[in-house]
Amino acid sequence: MNSDDDGLWAGDRQQPLTISDVAKAAGVGESTVSRVLRGKGSVSDEARERVLAAAKHLGYVPNRIAGTLASAGSKLVALVIPSVTNIVFADVLSGAAPILNGLGHQAVFAVTDYDQELEEELIESMLAWRPSGLIVAGVEHSGRSVSMMRGAGIRIAEILDTDSPGLDIVVGYSNLEAGRMSARFLASRGRRKIGYVGHDLQRDRRAAKRHEGFCQTLLGLGLHLADAEILPSLSSIELGRDGLAALLDRSPDLDAVYFANDDLAIGGLFHCMAHGIAVPERLALMGYNGLDVARLAPRPLSTIRTPRRLIGEMAAKLVCSREPSGVYDVGLELIEGATV
Amino acid sequence: MNSDDDGLWAGDRQQPLTISDVAKAAGVGESTVSRVLRGKGSVSDEARERVLAAAKHLGYVPNRIAGTLASAGSKLVALVIPSVTNIVFADVLSGAAPILNGLGHQAVFAVTDYDQELEEELIESMLAWRPSGLIVAGVEHSGRSVSMMRGAGIRIAEILDTDSPGLDIVVGYSNLEAGRMSARFLASRGRRKIGYVGHDLQRDRRAAKRHEGFCQTLLGLGLHLADAEILPSLSSIELGRDGLAALLDRSPDLDAVYFANDDLAIGGLFHCMAHGIAVPERLALMGYNGLDVARLAPRPLSTIRTPRRLIGEMAAKLVCSREPSGVYDVGLELIEGATV
DNA sequence: TCACCCAATGGCAGCGCTGCCAATAGCCAG
DNA sequence: CTGGCTATTGGCAGCGCTGCCATTGGGTGA
């Protein structure tokens, strides 16, 4: 009997267990063990039980690396996202991970930090694991990224943006339309001197599209962006607070501000609360994403809710499926809130 | 010449490229290709260039599955965490992922949803990928989880809790001490009728330890928890808001409330702001974690900052190193804020 | 000049598993 | 009874790569 229960420390380990150890212990062939462990092919109940007992007794954990190599079909799905701390992507992950596990897959992920070159590099390292699918944020990628993804021969899901054509599966919503909705909403509430607070639009292409849609629609309504504060770094509550302060400093007569997202907008709202600026009477604020913190703030933020978790779930499901290529638009929901 | 640049769609793919295709194209042996691609062993400059050119021309992406199987040393590191949407773990991931990538590793992750049975299952699937290291939240695991981790013969880092002994590497801080600090702080500011709002302590063991430390210290100071609202689900801003409302409804004379974490505390703060409860004059609020949103709220929250990103970074580094087993305590920082 | 050493290289076994095929045994209709 | 089936099983090649070993072709010091 293997005194496996105690006394071992990381590192001191006998040689690794293989399927043939289990086969020997159970008195069957390797193929039978494999069949039992994968639940494929026909095995007698007796053999099955013997194998299961032996595997449990030995503490055998199958080696998926070997299994994948032998069977060509990997059970890994790669996720390439710009950030984990941004709740948007965390929500996507939290939607995708359980679905993938439920389908017997494992999630591998990498964080691009909104950098297209890094994205390219990371896509390459991900593909080296021969995943069965790849989920990647956005539809805009470097040329080499695109050819690698095409050449990989696997399902690709591009998420969170439906404004440009995708390679295979696209799950998301129109950022352009989100910008337009926001402009229409502010205008319909009588706002005329509208400002914008956003972060680096070069890197965050989806925010750039919202900005574009917003400006388009304003122009169509005979309005225009009165002022804009574009901050050089990534979005955060702090940036929104300071950005709004700077914007109002320069253009004190604005009657509304559109933020690139809820993080920034919450920062703006906090600024107003701390400085006694009446929201929405004197200044309307509008965000984007529909975060919890925005909904639950003392004054609920006007924003647009994006079904991020759902996007993660759908992308995970689709990437493991044989559904046809195409665009899956999950839509957007305007949250009127109380800041406009 | 391979017209590889366009016209391919996911799915229609010639047979996969292998190292021997590259070898043939470059007119060298497979071993040489392998040496070039891994930068190991000596290769003439001429051969190196030929190989690199051939690989690039063919669009070859090495197969890490095969490489791992052949070399026994995997380049995967597994992360098992309770949640991704909880910023705490997202921060850990965002600290760990870049470090792992920098060391040539890939991160695989799984989400336990604070469920020890699921954790056990997920640890098993993770180990099936023969990772070179495993990072797991907390130091309390099921017996089978423990023996699997011990038996895996890899580095294990247990994070975010140093209150119980670990298997190999432990990176975190004392949750007990965090609870004690909070109790001392509230007491030192003259608070005497102290309540608690928390979530399911059965599932979140670290929150339970803070609660324990908090109560201990109160007793040591001749005080005690006047009332507690334990909510059955996971923490969220909403839960904190509703929890505080319920608590005050029952015990309107409390002069301070300790929350299991900042999410709940922010919810509490929002409740107070929306209902005109003067903070901290009439009611002091104390959270835990030091989130951005807490620091930047109109009234900065009194809380304890946990260096989560750093923990992710350290765990990643240590798990890939040969440093001795041990406890790495990163400490805690009391943020006085303005709600106590 | 010769024995020796070393950089550079190719060949090939084998990592642990799965897919395929052949072998065996039991069973039933003819 | 016998051939034909099916259910069950074991053997073994091979997935693509790396580790190890053998080989080659020069340098080098004595």
- The β-bridge partners of B155 are B133
Chain A from 52 to 111: CB within 8 A of any B CB: 59, 61-66, 68-69, 74, 76, 83-85, 87, 90-91, 93-94, 97-98, 101, 106-111
Return the amino acid letter for A5: D
Please tell me the distance from the alpha carbon of residue B8 to that of residue B105, in angstroms, as a whole number. 30
User: Could you give the C-alpha distances from B248 to A280, B240, B271, in angstroms and in order?
Assistant: 30, 12, 11
Alpha helices in B74-115 (DSSP H): 87-102
Nearest-nucleotide field for A43 (CA, C1'): D8
Question: Average pLDDT by consecutive 10-residue portion of chain A (340 residues)?
Answer: 34 70 93 93 91 93 95 91 95 96 93 95 95 97 95 95 97 98 98 97 95 98 96 93 97 97 97 96 98 95 98 97 96 97
DSSP class of residue A255? Answer: S
CB contact under 8 A, B65 and A62: no
What's the whole-number mean pLDDT along residues B90-106? 95
Which chain B residues have a beta carbon less than 8 Å from that of A268? none
pLDDT for the residue B14:
59
Strand (E) or helix (H) holding A52 = helix A45-58
Residue A98 contacts strand D, CB under 7 A: no
Report yes or no: A157 and A133 within 8 Å, Cβ to Cβ.
Answer: yes
pLDDT for the residue A101:
94
Strand, coil or helix: what is A115?
coil
Residue B11 has pLDDT above 60, yes or no: no
What percentage of chain B reaches a pLDDT higher than 90? 92
Residue B33 has pLDDT above 80, yes or no: yes
Distance B60 CA to D30 C1' (A): 50
Phi (first) and psi of residue B270, to 5 degrees: -60, -40
pLDDT for the residue A40:
87
Return the amino acid letter for A278: A
The residue among A5, A40, A7, A38 whose CA lies nearest residue A22 is: A38
pLDDT for the residue A135:
98
Alpha helices in chain B (DSSP H): 19-26, 30-38, 45-58, 64-71, 87-102, 116-127, 143-151, 175-188, 205-220, 237-250, 262-274, 292-296, 308-319
Q: Is A7 left (phi over 0), alpha (psi -120 to 50) or beta?
A: left
Strand, coil or helix: what is A260?
coil
Residue B12 has pLDDT above 90, yes or no: no
pLDDT for the residue A72:
81
What's the whole-number mean pLDDT along residues B58-81? 93
pLDDT digits (tens, 9 = 90+) for B108-165: 999 999 999 999 999 999 999 999 999 999 999 999 999 999 999 999 999 999 999 9
Please tell me the distance from the alpha carbon of residue A22 to that of residue B54, in angstroms, as a whole number. 43
Question: Is the minimum CB–CB distance between A273 and chain B shorter than 8 Å?
Answer: yes
What's the whole-number mean pLDDT along residues B263-289? 97
Please tell me the distance from the alpha carbon of residue B247 to that of residue B283, in angstroms, as a whole number. 12
> What structural domains and CATH numbers belong to chain A?
19-62 (1.10.260.40), 75-173+308-331 (3.40.50.2300), 175-305 (3.40.50.2300)
Nearest-nucleotide field for B72 (CA, C1'): C15
